[in-house]
Each structure stands twice: as structure tokens, then as C-alpha cells.
């Protein structure tokens, strides 16, 4: 299959959402860390400084804590009054309870689907931990899931395995693309079958959202039509008999990455987290080119000193198309964070955390949810385009050059 080599174009709308989600990630992980500490006394900021890289922060932890006084209350240390120390606010305790409740709904199903994507139905715990926020897993999932689902999960030798899918829903091994087009596949009409393969209403067609000036290119449209004509292979099916150098295997990899990003709460995952899963998922060594070759499906961002991959179809006008309950609670976390930034110490008196009150949150977040309009303004540049062979050297990115944590 002839491929089109495309230059990367910055998308300010999605970059803004990544920056926003990075702040939410740092706050949620800090809240969880402080809540699990055995002591009830304020925690010195210097003991949290080592968490800067795992949190993905581009600013010192102390500055981040002071920037959000509605989540983290600064107090003098009992023994050393000049030592800046922090504890959780009442709003933080409320949010922690809601986060735990929303996470408990289907977190085990997300982990089960992730394990089903792997070759051995198991993963090292060290490979799953970087995805804990993305999948909405509780901190103690390695102990809680085997205890609550004894016939499904097991942990041994620092690996978590899926023993059986008998206690899980019947469609646990059905991809999101197959579930979306289930009705069209079961009762396909002649008109549906005659639609162009690139049509969003055609069965098992990857939704494509191109930047302005790109989707109408004839060579790109011809390439995408040829791509959609290739047979779709479920990422949950065994692909060991397919030639890894074939176009069919590449489409299988696109479907696998599409499913992996679809499992995440915010439809975005850091590239380094995917790299830890590469061998178990059967991805090529330089898998980044899969994202750059198909910019209508994925967006690759360099925001926040890391490389993040976003599923384009997951967002519409700057908001999640299908918002998980956990994402809604995390939006409330961001609302509390923004209140602290705007009102500083007086922010606690401005908070409204009732479930049925959203006006205050909308007032604060209105400027943050202009993603789609920003996309259109940001993507006026066209992609550069060259015709290249299947796996030419010009198409390879240096995966080892990333410095993200």
C-alpha cells in the first residue's frame, strides 16, 4: 500500500486540553498520596519534591501546591514553624470520596480489556502503574481486584494476569469500533455496503478528523480509501499468523492503538506508557510513526515536556464526546483548582460542590472549552506531503529521543 508522509502540525486546542489534563493528573495523584499517608499532621513540601517527575509537573511541587490553596492548605509544621507544610482541605476530602466512587464502577473492566489486548494476558505491575490515572485504577488495584474478583485476576511475581473472562460481560473482548457499528454489521443494507470505505457511516470505518486543508487532498483521500478497504482485525484476536511487515498488520496496530486510547478516561496516553507495553501488544519498535502516518485518527503532542497521544474522535468542541463519570468528577477537581488560582485564599468560600450545581464551574471553565474552534484556527497550515515506500527510512522517528518521565 502506497503511503503518504505527512508533516506534523501543531493543534493548539488539543495541546490546551493536554495541559489541563496534566494539571488534573498532578492534583489527583497528590490528593491520593496525601490521603494515604499514615500521619494526620501537615506534610513538609520538601518530602514531596521527589514526586515532581512522576507527577509530570513542569514547575516545582511547592509552587504547584501554593498555586491551588483550595486543594492543599499550607500550615506551619508542628516542630519546625518555618518549614512549609501542607494538608488536605475539606473540599479535597469530598473530591476524594467522589473520585473513589466513580473509579469503582468499571475500573476492573478497563484493566481486563487492557490485559486481553496483550499476548500473554498479563503485564508487569511496573507497566500498569503509569496507566493508573489514565485507566482510573485505584492505588491498591493489585490487591483489591484479585480479592474482589478471585477467579478473574491474579498477581504473582509482580505481574497481574487475567485468569478467565467468565465473570465479565460478554462483550468484554469486542472492540469499541465493533460495538459502535454492531447494528450496521448485523443488518447491513445494500446502501450501507455501497458507501465509500472512508465514510464515517460505513461499517468498521475509523472516524477521521483531519485538520483544515488536509482532508480534501486527493492523494490523501485515495490513500485512506485504500487503507479502509483492508480487512479489519479486532485487537483482541490473535494476530500471530499475520506478517508483521504487511499492510494488514499495520491496520491491526492502528486498531489496537485506537482501542488502547479508547480505554483511557481522557482518550489520551503518554507515549512512554505505551512503550512499556510495546512487546506485549506486539507493536513495532518505532511505533511513533503509526501516529504520525494517521493524523486523522491520532494527534501527537509535545506539550508539558512529554509526548502525548490523543484520540481525535474522543473530543468535540473541546469536550469529551463520551464523558465517563470519573472524568466528570475530575472536571470538578479542575473547577476547585481554578477557583484557588482566581481567588487564592478566599477560594474556599467561593466553592460550590453540589452535584446538581454546574453554573459556577461553567463560568470558570468556559475559557478552557474552546478546543474545536481553536483547532480550526490553529490548523490552517496544510501538512507537507510526499509519497514514500511502505517502511522507508524517512518515515522512522527516533523513539529514544524523548525525555518525558
Domain of residue 120, residue span: 110-169
Of 153, 67, 64, 71, the residue nearest 108 (C-alpha)? 153
Indicate the pLDDT class of residue 357, thresholds 50, 70 and 90: very low
Q: What is the mean pLDDT of residues 327-340?
A: 94
pLDDT in tens, 240-269: 889 999 999 999 999 999 999 999 999 999
Instruction: Provide the domain count of the chain.
Output: 1
Q: What is the mean pLDDT of residues 168-175?
A: 91
pLDDT in tens, 181-210: 765 555 555 455 455 544 444 557 788 887
pLDDT in tens, 6-31: 777 888 999 999 999 999 999 999 99
Separation between Cα atoms, residue 30 and residue 40, nearest integer Å: 15
Indicate the pLDDT class of residue 216, thresholds 50, 70 and 90: low
Please say whether the beta carbons of 6 and 385 come within 8 A: yes
**Confidence at residue 317, expressed as pLDDT on a 0 to 100 scale:** 87
Give percent of the chain above pLDDT 90.
54
Q: What is the reported pTM?
A: 0.83
Please say whether the beta carbons of 323 and 334 come within 8 A: no
**Confidence at residue 337, expressed as pLDDT on a 0 to 100 scale:** 93
CB burial of residue 6 (10 Å; 0-12, 13-18, 19+): buried
**Confidence at residue 271, expressed as pLDDT on a 0 to 100 scale:** 95
CB burial of residue 328 (10 Å; 0-12, 13-18, 19+): middle
Is 332 within a domain?
no
Following DSSP, what letter does each residue of 263-274 receive, concatenated?
HSTTSEEEHHHH
Residue 65 has pLDDT above 60, yes or no: yes
Is 94 within a domain?
no
More confident residue, 82 or 399: 82
Q: What is the mean pLDDT of residues 325-330?
A: 96
Is 264 within a domain?
no
* Alpha-carbon distances, residue 213 vs 10, 225, 400 (angstroms): 14, 18, 32
Is 8 within a domain?
no
Is 100 within a domain?
no
Residue 288 has pLDDT above 80, yes or no: yes
Residue 375 has pLDDT above 70, yes or no: no
Is 160 within a domain?
yes
Is 348 within a domain?
no
* Alpha-carbon distances, residue 57 vs 22, 37, 43, 139, 342 (angstroms): 8, 21, 19, 20, 20
Helices (H) and strands (E) in the chain, counts: 19, 13
**Confidence at residue 345, expressed as pLDDT on a 0 to 100 scale:** 73
Is 181 within a domain?
no
Which region among 9-18, 110-119, 218-227 has the lowest average model confidence (pLDDT)?
A: 218-227
Amino acid at each position: 500500500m502506497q503511503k503518504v508522509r505527512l508533516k506534523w502540525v501543531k493543534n493548539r486546542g488539543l495541546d490546551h486540553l493536554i495541559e489541563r489534563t496534566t494539571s488534573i493528573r498532578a492534583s489527583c495523584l497528590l490528593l491520593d498520596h496525601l490521603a494515604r499517608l499514615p500521619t494526620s499532621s501537615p506534610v513538609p513540601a520538601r518530602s514531596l519534591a521527589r514526586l515532581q517527575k512522576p507527577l509530570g509537573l513542569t514547575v516545582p511541587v511547592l509552587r504547584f501546591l501554593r498555586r491551588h490553596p483550595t486543594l492543599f492548605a499550607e500550615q506551619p509544621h508542628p516542630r519546625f514553624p518555618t518549614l512549609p507544610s501542607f494538608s488536605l482541605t475539606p473540599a479535597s476530602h469530598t473530591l476524594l470520596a467522589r473520585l473513589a466512587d466513580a473509579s469503582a464502577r468499571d475500573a476492573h473492566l478497563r484493566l481486563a480489556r487492557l490485559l486481553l489486548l496483550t499476548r500473554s494476558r498479563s503485564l508487569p505491575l511496573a507497566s500498569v502503574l503509569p496507566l493508573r490515572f489514565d485507566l482510573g485504577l485505584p492505588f491498591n488495584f493489585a490487591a483489591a481486584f484479585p480479592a474482589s474478583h478471585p477467579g478473574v485476576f491474579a498477581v504473582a511475581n509482580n505481574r497481574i494476569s487475567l485468569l478467565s473472562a467468565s465473570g465479565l460481560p460478554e462483550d468484554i473482548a469486542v472492540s469499541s469500533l465493533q460495538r459502535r457499528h454492531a447494528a450496521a454489521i448485523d443488518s447491513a443494507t445494500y446502501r450501507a455496503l455501497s458507501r465509500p470505505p472512508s465514510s464515517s457511516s460505513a461499517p468498521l470505518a475509523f472516524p477521521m478528523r483531519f485538520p483544515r486543508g488536509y482532508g480534501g487532498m486527493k492523494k490523501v483521500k485515495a490513500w485512506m480509501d485504500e487503507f479502509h478497504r483492508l480487512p479489519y482485525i479486532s485487537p483482541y484476536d490473535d494476530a500471530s499468523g499475520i506478517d508483521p511487515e504487511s499492510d494488514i498488520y499495520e491496520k491491526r496496530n492502528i486498531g489496537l492503538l485506537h482501542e488502547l486510547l479508547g480505554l483511557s478516561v481522557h482518550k489520551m496516553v503518554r507515549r512512554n506508557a505505551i512503550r512499556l507495553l510495546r512487546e506485549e501488544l506486539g507493536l513495532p519498535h518505532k511505533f511513533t510513526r503509526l501516529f504520525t502516518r494517521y493524523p486523522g485518527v491520532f494527534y501527537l503532542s509535545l506539550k508539558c515536556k512529554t509526548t502525548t497521544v490523543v484520540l481525535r474522535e474522543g473530543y468535540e468542541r473541546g469536550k469529551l464526546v463520551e464523558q465517563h463519570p470519573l472524568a466528570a468528577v475530575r472536571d470538578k477537581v479542575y473547577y476547585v483548582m481554578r477557583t484557588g488560582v482566581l481567588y487564592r485564599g478566599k477560594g474556599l468560600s467561593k466553592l460550590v460542590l453540589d452535584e446538581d450545581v454546574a453554573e459556577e464551574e461553567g463560568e470558570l471553565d468556559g475559557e478552557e472549552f474552546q478546543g474545536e474552534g481553536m483547532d480550526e484556527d490553529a490548523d490552517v497550515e496544510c501538512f507537507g506531503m510526499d509519497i514514500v515506500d511502505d517502511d522507508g527510512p524517512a518515515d522512522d522517528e527516533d523513539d529514544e529521543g524523548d525525555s518525558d518521565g
